[in-house]
Structure formats: structure tokens, C-alpha cells
Structure 1
């Protein structure tokens, strides 16, 4: 009876040791006396007790790690990077799982190699670029890293899913100088815009002023012409009136100088009435009047000679 009990207990232990449960998202690598044997997939599996052993359980889920490091540009500027790396096992094929299981001694060694490889790839790219170019090359840096390490990661059994450069920053002194450059560029652009606006304003103002002067000159020219025409017509009418008056006086056997005397007295009267308190000096002597009359008569004679010459 005791023998059967021992056999039963031994059978239960063997069955217990034979059952292997592999969780979803992982695979188990089985070895026989230290040599690779096979892979267990998720679910219920069985192994030979005391012969087959679980060497390692490998997660096939996506994994992420944060990176923080520094690189130097070709013009000796320090660039600080903060990045996030997303990677996973290449696939569930046997060769890929074997690489993941046996390429590295432990998880720490894998992560150290992976991180240093990513950092080295980014540093080699940044070393060929100038400080001013770096901020605009995020996507180019990511593509460069993927091109450089994809084949290497495949030999390890992994592949790079994504690399995000969350932050690219320069040293504080460089950031201040870059800010000053941007500020000075903005000030320069603002000054140029203000200068252009002032130039346009001045140009428009000068054009408006020139047009106003031109219009005023044209108006003054027209007014002067009209004034000249008015004076000429006035003089012509005065001459005609004097001629008619002189003709009538001659027909009546009267001295035509009476007309001049009448005009003289009318002029003096007009000056007195319209002077508005202004002082007007006239030569009121007989000689002055006679001199004025002679001048007027000379004008009349010139007027009379004109039609005769025609």
C-alpha cells in the first residue's frame, strides 16, 4: 500500500514538473543539458522533467527606453538630446528567438549595447552638421539611425519600431546667442518694414504735394490769364469810350481835354471814397494834371493811329 502511495506521489510530482504555462506575449526557450532544444509558445506546454529546462522566458511585446545624452556638432556646439526608443523582438521565428536568447549574457548587457549603439549613431550624424542645422533635422536624424542599426538589431533578434527625439537643446550660452540672433533678425526685418512704410508714406506725400502745387500753379496761370484778359477788355472799353467822347466833343466844337479833366476829377473822387483810410499821394498841381492829360492824350493818339495805318 505504501509503495503505491509513493508511486502516486511520484507521478503527481512528475506531471507537475512536466507542465509549463507560458503567458500571452512571451515565449519560453527550452534547453537539454544546456543546449538549445525548442521554443514553447503561449498556453499549456509540456517538457521532460529533469532533462528539459526553461532557459529563458522572452517577451515579444513592444518595449521602450528613454535616452538622454550629448552630441557635438562640426562647429563645436554641445547638443543635448532626450529621446524615447521603442523596440521589440523581430518575430517569433526560431532563429530570431535563438538570437534574442543567446546573443547577450543578460538583459542589462542588451540594454547597454542598444543604448550605446543608438547614441553613437546620432553622435556620428550630428558631428557632420552645423549648430544652425540641427533643430530642423529631427526626421533626418531618425531615418539615419534606422538605416544604420536596423541590420545590426536584426542580428540580435530585434527591430527598431520608433525613435522619438522629444527634446533637442543647446547649452545655455548658445541658446542665449541664438535668441539674440533671432531677436536681431526680427528687429532688422521690423526696421526694414518700417523704412519701407516710411518711404511709401513720404513718396505719397511728395506726390500729393507735387500734384497740389501743380494744380495751384495751373489755377494761378488760368487766373492770371483771366485777369489779363479782364484788364485788356477794360482798357479796350475805356479807349472806345474815350474815342467816342472825343468824337462827340470834336463834332460839337468843344475841347477834348475836358474829357481828361472830367476823368481826372472822377479818379480823385474815387480815390477819396474807396481809400478806406489809406494815404494816397497824388500830384494835384496844374502841371501834374497837365502832365497826366498829355499822357492820356498820347495814348488816345496811338489808338487813333492804329486804325489809320490799317
Structure 2
């Protein structure tokens, strides 16, 4: 009975040491006397007590780290970066797990190498760019860093899932100068737009004025033509009327100068009606009337001779 009890006391610890539980999302690297032996997958696993030992448990889940560092551009401007890196073990193949387990002495050494590699890659790229180019190269920086880092991580058994540059900021003095440049460029653009708008307004106004002058000139030209035609028609009708009147008086053996006298009296009547208060001096004496009649008769005879 005592022997059985002793056997149970010895067997129970040995039995407990013969099994190991590996959590989901994790694999365990097993060594024998310090040498790699095999990999334990998630679940309950058997191992040889006092011979096999779990060297390291490795998470195969995605992990993330946040970085803050500074870089210097080609024109000596300091740029502050905030980045987030998401990475994971590349796969669960044996060689990959061995790289992850034995490539670095510990997790701290791996993280230090990872951070320094990312910072160095970004700094090397930023050092070839001017400060005005950096803000517009966010996507280019991410692409180039991903390509470089992914190749390096694969040799360590990891792969890069995502890299995000959450913030890119310059020193306060540079930010102020950049803000002033942006403000001055905006003012310049606004002035140019205002000048173009004023030019368009002035041009349209000049075109409108030119069109108005041209239309007015055309109208005046047409009006002058119509006035001239009206005067010509009036004179033609007057001439026809006078010719017919002269013929009638001649047929009746009357002096044609009576027509001129009638026109003279009608003109005086028109002066009186349309004068609007203006004073018109006419020689109303008998000598003056005879003088005017002689002049009108002479003009009529001269016209007949022509």
C-alpha cells in the first residue's frame, strides 16, 4: 500500500509534466537540451518530461506598434512623423517559426531592430526630398517603406500587413512660414481672379457701349437717309404743284408771279404761327414787297433757263 502511494506521488507530477497546453493563436517551439526539436500547435500536447522543454511561445496573431520619430529633409527642415505598423508571423511553416524563435535573442531586440529599420528607411527617403514635397509624398513614402520593410521582415519570419503615416508635421516656425506662403498664394490667386473679373466686366461694358454707338450710328444714318428722301420728295411735290399752278395761270392768261406772291404770304403766315415768341423783322413796305417779288421772279426765271 505504501509503495503504491509512493508510485502515485511520483507518477502524478510526471504525468503533469508530460502535457502542455498551447492557446489558440499561438504555437510553441520545443527543444531537447537546448536544440530545436519540433512545434506544438494549439491545444493539448504531449512532451517528454525533463527531456523536452518549451523554448518559446510565439503568437501568430496580428500585432501593431506606434512610432514617433523625426527626419530631416534635403533643405534641412525637421519633419515629425507618427506612424502605425501592423505585422504578423508570415505563416506557420517550420522554417518560418524557427526564424521567429531563434533570429533574435529576445522580443526586445526584435522590436528595436524593427523600429530602427522603419525609421531609417523613412529618413533615407525624406533626406532626398525638399520640405515642400514631403506633404504630397505620403502615399509614395508608404509604398517605398512597405516594399523595403516587407523584404526585411520576411527574412525574420514576419510580413508587413499595413503601414500608416498618421501625422506629418514640421517645426512650428516652418509651419508658420508655410501658412504665410499659402495665405499669400491665396491672396495672389484672389487678386488675379478679381483682375480677370474686372477685365471681363470692362471688356463687356466696352463691347456693349461700342454696340450701342454702332446701333445709334446706323439708326442716325437711316434717319438721315429717310429725312433726305423726305425732303427730296417734298421738293419734288412742291415743284410739281408749282408747275401745275403755273400752267393753269398761264392757260388763263394770268401772271405766274402771283404764285410767288402767294408763297411769300404763306411763309410770313407760317413765321407768325410757328415763331414761338421770336421776333422776325420783315420789310413790309411797298418797295420792300416789290423788291422781294423781283428777286423771286428772277430766281424763277433763272430756274426756267436752267
Instruction: Using structure 2 for the length normalisation, give the TM-score.
Output: 0.90
* 1:25-55, Cα deviation, whole Å (9 max, x unpaired): 1111222222222221111112222222222
- Say if 1:241 and 1:151 are closer, same or farther in 2 by CA, change over 3 A: closer
Tell which deviates more after alignment, 129-138 or 16-25. 129-138
**Alpha-carbon distance change, 210 to 151 in structure 1, aligned in 2, over 3 angstroms:** closer
After superposition, the Cα gap between the structure-2 partners of 1:167 and 1:236, relative to the gap in structure 1 and judged at 3 Å, is same
Structure 2, unpaired ranges of 5+ = none
CA apart distance, 1:13:
0.8
Q: Which residue of 2 aligns with 1:259?
A: 259
Q: Specify the alignment match of 1:83 in structure 2.
A: 83
Q: Does 1:99 align with 2:99?
A: yes
Structure-1 residue corresponding to 2:154: 154
Q: Flag structure 1 segments of 5+ consecutive residues without an equivalent.
A: none
2:203 aligned with 1:203 = yes
Q: 1:296 to 1:26 in 2, by over 3 A?
A: same
Please, which moves more after superposition, 152-161 or 291-300? 291-300
Q: Distance in 2 between matches of 1:287 and 1:74?
A: 113
Give secondary structure in 2 for the equivalent of 1:135.
helix
Give the corresponding residue for 1:7: 7
- Aligned pairs for 1:286-301 (under 5 A) are 286=286, 288-301=288-301
Give the secondary-structure state (helix, strand or coil) at the position aligned to 2:276: coil
Tell me the secondary structure at the aligned position of residue 136 of structure 2: coil
Residues 19 and 45 in structure 1, CA contact (< 8 A), matched pair in contact too: yes
Kept in 2, the 8 Å contact 1:249–1:256? The answer is yes
**Structure 1 pair 260–152 and aligned structure 2 pair: CA distance change class (3 A):** closer
Matched, 1:42 2:51: no
User: 1:243, 1:300 within 8 Å by CA — same for their partners in 2?
Assistant: no
Aligned residue runs from structure 1 range 32-181, under 5 A: 32-181=32-181
Bigger drift between 251-260 and 76-85 goes to 251-260
In the alignment, the residues of structure 2 paired with residue 40 and residue 169 of structure 1 have an alpha-carbon distance, to the nearest angstrom, of 46
Which residue does 2:187 correspond to in 1? Answer: 187
* Whole-angstrom distance in 2 between the partners of 1:248 and 1:37: 151
Could you say what secondary structure the match of 1:48 adopts? coil
TM-score, scaled to structure 1: 0.88
**Deviation at residue 5 of structure 1 after TM alignment:** 0.7
Q: Note closer, same or farther for the CA distance 1:284–1:235 as it changes in structure 2 (3 Å cut).
A: farther
Contact 1:246/1:259 (CA < 8 Å) preserved in 2? yes
Change in Cα spacing, 1:245 to 1:92, as seen in structure 2 (3 Å) is: closer
Q: 1:121 Cα shift?
A: 0.5
Bigger Cα displacement from structure 2, 234-243 vs 147-156: 234-243
Q: How far apart are the structure 1 equivalents of 2:260 and 2:284?
A: 14
The structural deviation recorded for 1:164 is: 1.0
Instruction: Tell me which moved more, 114-123 or 193-202.
Output: 193-202
